[in-house]
Structure 1
């Protein structure tokens, strides 16, 4: 690469400092030629653009926060619903998505509000982001296995995935989602040497760019991590296609508006939202490593992928699940009707 990792960190830190100072109408203790030279090296209007990219995580987090607690209440307040494996796995996926949105929105707000996080706190937040995202992908894989067993092995379904086994499976999913990122973080911690300069903000998109300026070990971990997620999502897609192929003669796919077709389409839309950002991130990383795109373009693409495309499915999928599953939709409808009735009832009492 033309720019070393430490040089890139200095450019980013100086760029942020320059733009924050100009944003607050203060001047840096630099002469005019030095300021002009730094502006030439500035990675676009990074500080102001990060404020613009804050909109999408906040909107997705608020949208998810509005409906996910209601869905979880509808699942765990109904005895018959919470005994079904698919709803337990759905609740686990929604919890993972909500926690991911919470921590990602928190880090983005801290960066925009100029709150400097310590290295250990930043590492903890990145670990939690990796664990919750990995938990969402593993839960999606478990949901595919659940559908596969329910459709192709209906007689053995309750024996293989009983409610007690499902709870143990969820515990195993959380253990795995924390175990693999922990191994990755420990490997990076013990293999990397102390750097003479550090990044002043805890931003996932910028850290993605920084890793591409590291040594071959960090680049390899970066590419392998994204590739592993893509392969996992591809295997999920293949399982859905296998289910569709083996049930083609049952007649459930003849009508486009049939329940099976709509459910199948919904799952593929969600998978597309999960698969596309990772594929774009891998493509952008390879293009940047091979110097096809520059630093500013790479940073713009990474900001768009992380702040828009990665968080979008986590804000949209709860609404798709809520409207698709009849049991959850009926419970939510009844819940909001009772809530509305309790608000209106005192008015009728006095009339």
Structure 2
């Protein structure tokens, strides 16, 4: 049944020439991979940056995004080329993709909570959020993000039967077709993260509204909140679209077969464009909005230029 589903999907992709979406996917991936490693180098080279929780969380987000992009691009190229792969490899790749995506979502949520904690309790913040404790939190985030998708992969083996069966396309919603309860779990976790972010932003506004930082229409606080709000929307929206795909595929498989072209278009745009947009914008936003990262990058460039002149 898996091979039949993927073959029909592959025929729809070829009929609509959706393999052309590989072009924007490749460009967005390259744009991200040019900037994210540079920011990671800036954070880990500077002793002061790698001792602060917010920059460690930025580094964790960029790392998760890079893992997602590299594996996602490999799957995209394989799907466009029609290269068959064992279903167990597809399941493993999907589990890693979901892990990295979930890790990024959890980390950006923690970034907002960290900002709220620093503003709400500034005197106790550095005593609570030490670098060692931040490292433990990031490790726990990776474990939590990996626990559920890899558990679903094990459950998928029992449901689909032969894991060595080869498929024409690697489709995440087929790998995670393990029941409505699991889809509801993704939806509930995403809602909790979204409500936590909204609560922290509302509380931040209430705590800081008397300090005069919001009076100017183009103040740094307003621009920062607007930029991060757009970025968070770009992070969360593709996740909700993916959850909707899972729900539609599980609740009405007959309707899924009848409206396959619509699902193919939605899935292609979501996987090839929407999921990549926040990862392409994130490193440039962090590089522009965090002055310490920009200063470290400028210092590194000056050092490199001076070394080249001496050589």
TM over 0.5: yes
Matched, 1:300 2:300: no
Aligned in 2, Cα 1:14/1:84: closer, same or farther, shift over 3 Å? Answer: closer
Aligned to 2:179: 218
Taking the aligned partners of 1:344 and 1:109, their CA distance within structure 2 comes to 42
Runs of 4+ in 1 over 3 A off after TM superposition: 187-190, 195-199, 279-293, 340-346
Q: Measure, in 1, the Cα distance between the counterparts of 2:236 and 2:146.
A: 21
Cross-structure match for 1:321: 286
Deviation at 1:300, TM superposition (A): 0.5
Residue 264 of structure 1: which of 225, 236, 239 is its match? 225
Aligned residues: 307
Please, which runs of 5 or more residues in structure 2 have no aligned partner?
none
CA shift in 2, pair 1:335/1:47, >3 Å: farther
Name 1:109's counterpart in structure 2. 77
SS of alignment partner, residue 185 of structure 1: helix
**DSSP 3-state at the match of 1:45:** helix
Aligned counterpart for 2:296 among listed residues 331, 340, 343: 331
- TM-score normalized with structure 2 length: 0.87
Q: What is aligned with 1:203? A: 170
Distance 1:149 1:342 in 2: 41
Identify if the C-alpha distance between structure 1 residues 182 and 196 changes in structure 2 by more than 3 Å, giving closer, same or farther. Answer: closer
Tell me the CA shift for residue 180 of structure 1.
2.3
Q: Which residue of 2 aligns with 1:243?
A: 204
- Per-residue Cα deviation, 1:279-331 (whole angstroms, up to 9, x for no partner): 33445566675649821112101111111101110111110000110000111
Between 1:124-133 and 1:111-120, the stretch displaced more is: 111-120
Which consecutive residues of structure 1, in runs of 5 or more, have no partner in the other structure? 1-5, 17-41, 347-351
Specify the alignment match of 2:25 in structure 1.
Answer: 57
Q: Distance in 1 between matches of 2:136 and 2:4?
A: 48
Greater helix proportion: 2
The aligned counterpart of 2:161 is 194
Report the CA distance between 1:178 and its aligned residue: 1.4
After superposition, the C-alpha distances for 1:20-48 in whole angstroms (9 at most, x for unaligned) are xxxxxxxxxxxxxxxxxxxxxx5253583
Once residues 181 and 296 of structure 1 are traced to their aligned partners in structure 2, the CA distance between those partners, rounded to angstroms, is 27
**Match 2:7 to one of 13, 25, 46:** 13
- The equivalences for 1:60-71 within 5 A come to 60-71=28-39
| Alignment deviations for residues 110-152 of structure 1 (CA, whole Å, 9 cap, x no partner) | 2223332222222221111011111111111211221111000
Indicate conservation of the 8 Å contact 1:211/1:219, yes or no.
no
CA distance in structure 2 between the partners assigned to 1:266 and 1:318 by the alignment? 12
What is the CA distance between 1:242 and its match in structure 2?
2.3
Per the alignment, do residues 202 and 231 of structure 1 end up closer, same or farther by CA in structure 2, a change over 3 Å counting? farther
- The alignment status of 1:74 with 2:35, answered yes or no, reads no
- Tell me the CA shift for residue 248 of structure 1: 1.7
Q: TM-score, normalised by structure 1?
A: 0.78
How large is the RMSD of aligned CA atoms in angstroms? Answer: 2.7
Matches within 5 A, 1:39-58: 42-43=11-12, 45-46=14-15, 48-50=17-19, 52-58=20-26
